[in-house]
Structure 1
Amino acid sequence: MNEFESLGLKGGIWQGVLHRDAPPGRLVLVHMGSRLAEACATPEPEGGWAVDVAIPAERLSDGVQSFLLLEDRGAEGEPPHPGARHLASLTLVAGALLDGDLHAELSLMRSELELLKKELRRLAAEPG
């Protein structure tokens, strides 16, 4: 089981549970190498820590966007420290570009499958 369990994105807030007894260090939301926000961690009555962080609307756009949740011991407002611990990632896919991306990916998969079928047929036909 992962230490961080993502509960998904609701109303622009990424929610999850950090399964550990000790309080976490600073939790930082990162997108494209930039620090966006710091997550809030509150103790859960049954153990662990409830974590939530707002995804800034201005960072949402067509295509694929990946957000990272990192833990370090830095001060508030600082960029993540080198060696910050990666806890989780959230990938969002949206917009008109999505159709083209999916069609291109499907076409690539079909080509690779055809290549694999040819190679298997060749291997099966070899005497030996």
Structure 2
Amino acid sequence: MTAWTLTKTRLFEGVWEGALTNEGAELAVPEVIVTHLQEPVPNVELRENKEEECWVLRVPIPVDRIADGVQTFVILDAGTEETLGSFALMSGDALSYDIRAEVTLLRDELDMLKRAFRRHCLETM
């Protein structure tokens, strides 16, 4: 299991931002990959925030990746290839009639719940 924890901070002006923290290793540099439809997303930035003892992850959303329906971006730990988090963009008229959009959201929420449950189990042992 990955030692990194990703917390979304905001989505502003087309850039998704989150904070990466690591309880286990001080001053470790995270290796992160962001994908969309199994393709890497370019221009992902990581910056150290020494005041809050975390790394700031910035993911500029490429214009060519915005389309009707649900577009899911997955954030992975490059070392372990475990999912750290994800975010989805939803748009278009067909979205309100598309059950696949709901299924995608439910899968993402289930993944978040699984990670939280596993983390809870590790912390209570």
Tell me the TM-score normalised to structure 2 length: 0.65
- Which of 47, 55, 67 is the equivalent residue of 1:49? 55
Match of 2:28 in 1: 23
Aligned mates of 2:47, 2:10 — CA distance in 1: 17
SS of 1:3's equivalent in the other structure is: strand
Runs of 4+ in 1 over 6 A off after TM superposition: none
Q: How does 1:1-128 map to 2 (within 5 A)?
A: 3-20=5-22, 21-37=26-42, 39-44=44-49, 45-73=51-79, 83-101=80-98
**CA separation in 1, counterparts of 2:83 and 2:27?**
17
How many residue pairs get matched?
Answer: 94
Deviations 1:99-123 (A, max 9, x none): 2126xx7xxxxxxxxxxxxxxxxxx
Match for 1:39: what amino acid? V
- Is the CA contact 1:29–1:38 (under 8 Å) kept in the aligned structure 2? no
Q: CA deviation at 1:46?
A: 2.1
Q: CA deviation at 1:8?
A: 2.9
What is the alpha-carbon distance in structure 1 between the residues aligned to residue 52 and residue 31 of structure 2?
A: 22
- Tell me the TM-score normalised to structure 1 length: 0.64
What is the SS of the residue equivalent to 1:98?
helix
Larger radius of gyration between Structure 1 and Structure 2: 1
Q: Percent identity?
A: 27
